[in-house]
Structures are given as structure tokens and as C-alpha cells.
A and B are shown apart, each in its own frame.
Chain A
Amino acid sequence: MPSIRMKAISSGDTTEVQALVQHPMDSGFVKDPSGALIPPHHIETLVFSHNDKPVFTAYWGPAVSKDPYVKFAFKGAAKGDTLQATWIDNMGKTDTGTAKIA
């Protein structure tokens, strides 16, 4: 199951992107039912690229909500182009997803 769901819609020269990532984003301040602290586990970077050039980079701490959502917009892409997104979390896990710009 891909962890990244993206919608990229172009209108004129501007592409608006909405992305939803499946990730626990554990803050490190929450206890499990046995009373033990759940260690922090959160995405640190999420980079969106168009034609191998980063167009938007998110740096996230543990205060970003579980299953994070982000919305941004950029210029210079055309309908049919591919947008790529890659995240890396504090445990070294990573995933990449792509979306066709509509």
C-alpha cells in the first residue's frame, strides 16, 4: 500500500497540490495502555519534486498531526507532468509516491 496520496491540479501556470501521507506521527509524549511512553516516530522531511527539481520541502516535527496533510502550489508545470514526493522519518524509513498533474 503506497503511503502517499496526492492530487495535483493545474490551472493556468499554477499547479495546486494536496497530499495525504499515512504515518503515525507519534509525538513521544503519549503513553500506551501499559503506561510506557511510545517513542517519537514522525516524518522529518517530505520533498516534492517536478522534473527532478524540488518545488516544495516540508520539515516536520512531532507536532504535525497523524496521517499528515499538506497543501501548496507551484508554477511551471503542465498537465500530464509527473510530480514526485519522498518522505524520510526519524527512524530512517522512507517512501516515494508520484502523481500525474491533472
Chain B
Amino acid sequence: MSLHHTASQEATRRTALRLLAGLGLYGITMPSIGQAFASDAPGWPEAAFKAKTQDEVLAALYKGKLEMSKDVTIETPEIAENGAVVPVSVSTKLPGVTSISILVPENPYALAASYKLADASMAMVGCRLKMAKTTKVIAVVEAGGKLYAASSDVKVTLGGCGG
């Protein structure tokens, strides 16, 4: 028990050091401020990504109500030692899936990622997200014009948003 604890503390310390080293690097190489005002990429749902709450995100992205569904599978670790890199995967057997969005309501902006699927796409996605603190993670699947959701709880021991 104590052995494991020491190892995890060491890992946390190393992660923190790496994070600091990385920050220094980006501090120096930041491009000029002017570029920060370039227009957003076409199709990027700005309002949804600027929304602070789950309800605002859903209103900006979708029409209709969310229904929790056993047919949506979300996988996350139970405990994330490093909130900067938390693997999340979402899949479903529901037919006619057109989009999959992943929300992290405890983050400053609730929407983390939204994926648009083509007819050829399989209904699954895996990615890595930052989580500021212990949070619920919500997967929203749009299928046949309806919204289905599943959620998972992640205990974050070192937040991934700087703070």
C-alpha cells in the first residue's frame, strides 16, 4: 500500500515537472498576438464550445431532449492520476448515428469534443481529454435525429487545466 502510494506520488511529481518544462517552452515560442484573432475554422461550432454548462452546450448543438440509454457505452478510467490526459471512448450499437459529443461539465467549458460521423463511419470514437477536477463525463450520441446519452465518473487527482 505504502509502496504504491510512493510510486504514484513520484509519477505525479514527474508529470508536474514535465508540464512545467513544456509550459516554459510554449511561453517562449508563442506566436504574435495578432494571429490569435484569426477567424475560426469552417464548421466549428463556436457557441457550443464557448458554453459553460451542459444545457447550454446541448441547446447550441442539438434540438430535442437527452435520453439516458443503455445502448451507449462510455469508457473512462475510474481514477485519473493526471487530469491532462484522460482516455475516453464512446461506442454504440444504435443505427443511424450522425454525431458523438463528449462533455466534461466540471471543465471551464463543458464541451470537450464533438465528432461528426459520415454514412461510412462506425459508431465509435476514442480520444484523450483534459479534466480540471473530479467530474462526470457525458457521451451524447445523435442517432436518427434523437439524442441518447451515457455518463461515467472520473476521479481526478491532479487537475489538467493549469489552475
Contact = CB atoms under 8 A, between A and B. Distances in A.
A91 B35 CA distance: 5
B161 A29 contact: yes
A73 B124 contact: yes
Contact of B125 (A63, A71, A91, A92): A71
- Which of A31, A61, A65, A72: most chain B Cβ within 10 A? A61
A44 B40 CA distance: 7
B24 A72 contact: no
B36 interface: yes
Contacts of A58: 113-115, 127
Nearest to B31: A91
Contact of A61 (B38, B89, B109): B109
A80 interface: no
A61 B23 contact: no
A66 B85 CA distance: 8
Interface string A61-98: 11111101111111110000000000011111100000
Nearest to A14: B122
Contacts of B92: none
Nearest to A49: B118
Nearest to A89: B41
B151 interface: no
Given A34-B27, A72-B122, A75-B120, A59 B128 contact: no
18 contacts: A30-B23, A32-B27, A33-B20, A33-B27, A38-B26, A41-B30, A61-B111, A62-B109, A65-B86, A66-B84, A69-B128, A70-B126, A71-B124, A72-B121, A75-B120, A75-B121, A76-B120, A91-B36
B26 A24 contact: yes
B130 A68 contact: no
